[in-house]
Amino acid sequence: MWADVVCAWAYIGKRRLAQALEGWDGEPVEVVWRPFRIDPMAPTQAEPMEEVLRDPVVDAALQGCAPGMTPAENRVRVSEIAAAEGLGSRWGAAWRASSHDAHRLIALAYQEGGSALQDAVLEGVLRAHFVEQRDISLKETLQEIAAAAGFSEGGRLLGEGGAEEYVRETLLRGKAIGVTTSPTLVIGGEALAGAHAPEVIAQFVARAVAEPRRELPTEVERLRLAQALLDKGDPLGCLTLLGKLMAEHPEERSVRLLAARAHYHSAQLSRARSGLETLVAEIPDDAYARLMLGRVLERQGKGEEAAPHLRIAAAMNPEYGKAG
């Protein structure tokens, strides 16, 4: 489940997912929570929600959450649904808080104690934010939540920077596979976006589990995710996921070519040129590497140097000549 702990629908979705799995009699199902950010610009130091909601720009942005309703009407609707799900009548976040460290704590709980401990910590974070109206961006708040959930080491691990890299990379993985809303339930290659009714979730789980996806080697999956990020216009995210592959498989041509493309699209032209020149020297008849090298040189203002590479690429593959 990809979700943000500052998303009210994530808390509602958590309850509905649990209800959907209560009568599950198929293969054992493990629920693992992955990070998503609905408000990546939330400040490190939390702001009172009352002040935030008075901002007309924020109010207008919230219109997209519930077309046809004012943000105030939508908040009332969500509160009523939350109460019906047993989440309490006193409902509503009091703070606009960054959820980054909360996601780190939730990830650490899974790493240290599995899905049961993660669920307990997640429940504590959600309850603190929406019911107790506490500031979950504070380390002290997260330490208290961890301790109450039986995760005594949580505060220390958080303070040591635990799961920092994991959360940042997993956010990119979610983007790569097409997660765009909180919550989104993912099983294999199937996704169900939104906090649906328990019976809808149960049907989705049954259908997805019945059609298991073939697992890819870790390196292949990482390469495909990096490619997906580049295709989505995020070359820096692509390079982040490629980092481990570049360190572990520095001679792998597909990794090096994708890195050169990402350098090109992120305007790191010197790095792109260096990588592509090496690739072309190794395999002179690689038409695509020739094409990319020519384009890099053009962007560097070196038209005369670019021309031979572009001509050779077009001779080997006429389609590259049309790309112009």
Per-residue pLDDT tens for 71-93?
667 777 888 888 888 887 677 88
Coil, strand, or helix at residue 69? Answer: coil
Instruction: Starting at the earlier edge strand, list the strands of the sheet with 2-3.
Output: 34-35, 2-3, 184-187, 190-193
User: Helices in 37-153 by DSSP H: which ranges?
Assistant: 49-53, 56-62, 71-84, 100-130, 139-148
Separate counts of helices (H) and strands (E) for the chain: 16, 6
pLDDT of residue 62: 54
**Mean pLDDT throughout 157-162?**
97
At 88 the pLDDT is: 73
Which distant-in-sequence residues (6+ apart) come within 8 Å of 202 by Cβ?
20, 21, 23, 24
Per the listing, tokens 């198929």 go with 26
Query: pLDDT tens digits for 228-258?
Result: 999 999 999 999 999 999 999 999 999 999 9
User: In the chain, what are the domain boundaries?
Assistant: 2-210, 218-323
Question: Which CATH number, 3.40.980.10, 3.40.50.11540, 3.40.30.10, 3.90.220.20, labels domain 2-210?
Answer: 3.40.30.10
State the CB neighbour count (10 A cutoff) for residue 83: 13
* pLDDT, position 112: 97
Please tell me the pTM assigned to this model: 0.90
The DSSP annotation for 176-209 comes to HHT--SSSEEEETTEEEES---HHHHHHHHHHHH
Q: What is the mean pLDDT of residues 284-306?
A: 97
256, 288 contact by CB (below 8 A)? no
- The pLDDT of residue 54 is 75
Mean pLDDT of 269-298: 97
Q: What is the CA radius of gyration of the chain?
A: 24
Residue with tokens 């504070």: 138
Please say if the pLDDT value at position 67 is more than 80.
no
Position 219 pLDDT exceeds 80: yes
218-323: in CATH 1.25.40.10: yes
Residue 210: what pLDDT? Answer: 85
